[in-house]
């Protein structure tokens, strides 16, 4: 796979010691500090990856060199850091994380004062400032300072518990198995389970950043979780990614139910209590459309990327949203994906319905959604999308959305092709009523991609 530094609306990601070095991290700190201006304040946090301390220090050095004051939040979750950026009234935020990327990676995510990721325009400005190396370096009397804040976990837990009924959840005495992948969720998650009165079996619970398995919370990586749920007789199994913004669920029988069901189940719970528009990205299953239609509300679709979904939520005044990768966003807590909010909502849903999770899942109209990825040279994605559009141009009823790669909607199915914002890969997603129909769509687009990139 081609090794290159990824710079996008999702931030910066690269391999440590190769594309992402201390020098590069310091320069991005300088670029962000130059954008904000001397005298401003930025929160900074990191997940548990061993390289995190080094990257954090380099970014902080760049920020303070440009006269920006830094508030160090320590090792906390991405949603917790985003919440504190807003709560502390900072002018921006930085999170050192590569989310679900494999161990060799780390990354730098930049936040607006609201805690939301940068807009596409802001991300482009940051990239251009970094490339120009025209930094606003300050003299010895005007560099920034550093301070520490340790309130993140308490602030985050209080916000999450305020949108559910902890007493009702406690009354059920749920047993929960949680896999925190030795990541940033290791500390705050058991605190949340204690407040919700749950008996916790905590897998991979030491915040070492030494991942016990591949960090992306997908089915092949969660066999241990399913087995532990069955052995413990638990009501539910939860899996987080390393920065704890994504949540994937295993039912009471130890079955992986698919990352798309996290948002669908949470949306079903939300619409029991509140009515309003929902938002999701273009790669999210149409399950959420069915759930919304049953409640008489609309789903607003946005390009892939958390910041794009949040922008749509704010523009359309959506009450809830997220992404089909296990990302739940409730703006009453924080306008970013949040596994803590997801866990609390699922437990509240179980408490209210008094049904096992498998029955709640069975009540949702199901589709077959396939997701594949493969290496993609820089610049090739546009060619693949263009040839795919031509290939589907004569299909009856086909509609095309090119705001995020290419998504093609047909009568009862869809397929999308796009380059990743965070890895040098291309993704093809297809959803249809049957497995064979989804596979046929994927194969058709994959054949076109092979013609372009081999």
Q: What is the mean pLDDT of residues 59-84?
A: 98
- The pLDDT assigned to 377 comes to 86
The pLDDT value recorded for residue 111 is 97
Q: Please classify residue 450 by burial: count the beta carbons closer than 10 Å to its beta carbon, then call 0-12 exposed, 13-18 middle and 19+ buried.
A: exposed
The DSSP letter of residue 13 is E
CA dihedral 381, 387, 392, 397 (to 10 degrees): 60
User: pLDDT for 363-408, tens place per residue?
Assistant: 998 899 999 998 888 788 889 999 999 999 999 999 999 988 999 9
- Whole-model pTM above 0.85? yes
pLDDT at 421: 75
Cα–Cα distance, 141 to 64 (Å, whole number): 11
Tell me the pLDDT tens digit for each residue of 219-263.
Answer: 999 999 999 999 999 999 999 999 999 999 999 999 999 899 999
Check 51, 99, 180, 339 and give the catalytic one.
99
Residues 217 and 259: their CA atoms lie apart, in Å, by 8
Confidence check: pLDDT of 281 > 80:
yes
Q: Could you tell me the pLDDT band of residue 425, with boundaries at 50, 70 and 90? A: confident
> For residue 444, what pLDDT is reported?
95
Assess whether 99 carries a catalytic annotation.
yes
> For strand 11-15 and strand 69-75, is the pairing parallel, antiparallel, or unpaired?
unpaired
**Bridge pairing between strands 320-323 and 327-329:** antiparallel
What's the N-to-C CA distance of the chain in angstroms?
13
CA–CA distance, 302 with 124 (Å, rounded to integer):
19
Question: What are residue 147's DSSP bridge partners?
Answer: 71
pLDDT of residue 149: 98
Split at pLDDT 50, 70, 90, the class of 319 is: very high
Helix then strand then coil, % of the chain, to nearest 5: 40, 25, 35
Torsion sign across C-alpha atoms 88, 92, 95, 101 = positive
- Average pLDDT of the segment spanning 154-159: 98
pLDDT at 1: 46
Give the model's pLDDT for residue 445: 95
86-122 pLDDT, tens digit per residue, is 999 999 999 999 998 889 999 999 999 999 999 889 9
The pLDDT of residue 2:
59
Mean pLDDT of the chain: 95
Q: How confident is the model at residue 304 (pLDDT cuts 50, 70, 90)?
A: confident
Mean per-residue pLDDT, 268-287: 96
Q: Tell me, what's the pLDDT at 376?
A: 85
% residues pLDDT > 90 (the chain): 89
Classify the C-alpha dihedral 424-427-407-249 as positive or negative: negative
The closest of 104, 90, 103 to 45, measured between CA atoms, is 90
Sorted by where each starts, the structural domains of the chain and their CATH numbers stand as 6-150 (3.40.120.10), 155-362 (3.40.120.10), 368-453 (3.30.310.50)
pLDDT at 379: 80
Q: Which residues contact 353 (CB under 8 A, 6 or more apart)?
A: 360
CA distance 144 to 309: 33
Please state, in angstroms and rounded to a whole number, the distance separating the CA atoms of residues 417 and 405. Answer: 6
Give the 3-state secondary structure of residue 410: coil
Task: Please give the Cα distance from 436 to 423 (Å, whole number).
Answer: 28
| Among 48, 65, 47, CA closest to 11 | 47
CA atoms of 427 and 413, how far apart (whole Å): 17
């Amino acid at each position: 796979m081609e090794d290159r530094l990824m710079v996008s609306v999702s931030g910066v990601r690269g391999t440590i010691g190769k594309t992402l070095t201390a020098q590069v991290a310091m320069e991005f700190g300088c670029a962000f500090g130059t954008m904000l201006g001397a005298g401003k304040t930025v929160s900074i946090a990191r997940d548990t990856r061993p390289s995190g301390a080094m990257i954090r220090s380099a970014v902080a050095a760049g920020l303070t060199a440009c006269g920006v004051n830094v508030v160090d939040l320590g090792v906390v979750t991405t949603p917790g850091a985003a919440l504190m950026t807003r709560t502390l009234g900072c002018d921006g935020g930085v999170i050192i994380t590569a989310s679900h990327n494999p161990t060799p990676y780390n990354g730098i995510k930049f936040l607006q004062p609201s805690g939301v990721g940068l807009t596409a325009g802001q991300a482009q400005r940051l990239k251009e400032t970094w490339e120009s190396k025209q930094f606003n370096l300050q003299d010895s009397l005007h560099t920034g300072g550093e301070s520490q804040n340790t309130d993140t976990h308490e602030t985050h837990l209080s916000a999450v518990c305020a949108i559910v009924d902890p007493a009702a959840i406690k009354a059920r005495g749920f047993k929960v198995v949680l896999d925190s992948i030795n990541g940033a969720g290791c500390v705050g998650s058991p605190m949340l389970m204690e407040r919700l009165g749950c008996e916790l079996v905590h897998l991979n619970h030491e915040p070492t950043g030494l991942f016990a398995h591949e960090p992306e919370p997908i089915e092949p990586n969660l066999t241990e979780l399913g087995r532990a749920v069955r052995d413990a007789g638990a009501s539910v199994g939860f899996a987080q990614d390393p920065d704890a913004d994504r949540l994937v669920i295993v039912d009471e029988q130890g079955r992986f139910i698919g990352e798309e069901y996290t948002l669908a189940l949470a949306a079903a719970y939300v619409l029991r209590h509140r009515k309003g528009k929902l938002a999701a990205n273009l790669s999210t299953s149409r399950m959420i459309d069915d759930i919304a239609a049953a409640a008489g509300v609309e789903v607003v679709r946005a390009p892939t990327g958390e910041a794009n979904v949040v922008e749509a939520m704010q523009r359309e005044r959506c009450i809830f949203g997220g992404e089909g990768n296990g990302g739940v966003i409730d703006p009453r807590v924080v306008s970013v994906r949040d596994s803590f909010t997801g866990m609390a909502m699922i437990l509240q849903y179980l408490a209210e319905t008094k049904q096992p999770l498998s029955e709640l899942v069975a009540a949702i109209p199901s589709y077959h959604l396939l997701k594949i990825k493969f290496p993609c040279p820089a610049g090739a994605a546009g060619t693949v999308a263009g040839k795919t559009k031509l290939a589907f141009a004569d299909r009856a009823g086909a509609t095309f959305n090119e705001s995020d790669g290419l998504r093609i909607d047909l009568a009862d199915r869809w397929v999308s092709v796009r380059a990743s914002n965070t890895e040098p890969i291309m993704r093809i997603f297809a959803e249809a009523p049957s497995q064979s129909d989804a596979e046929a769509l994927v194969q058709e687009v994959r054949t076109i991609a092979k013609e372009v990139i081999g």
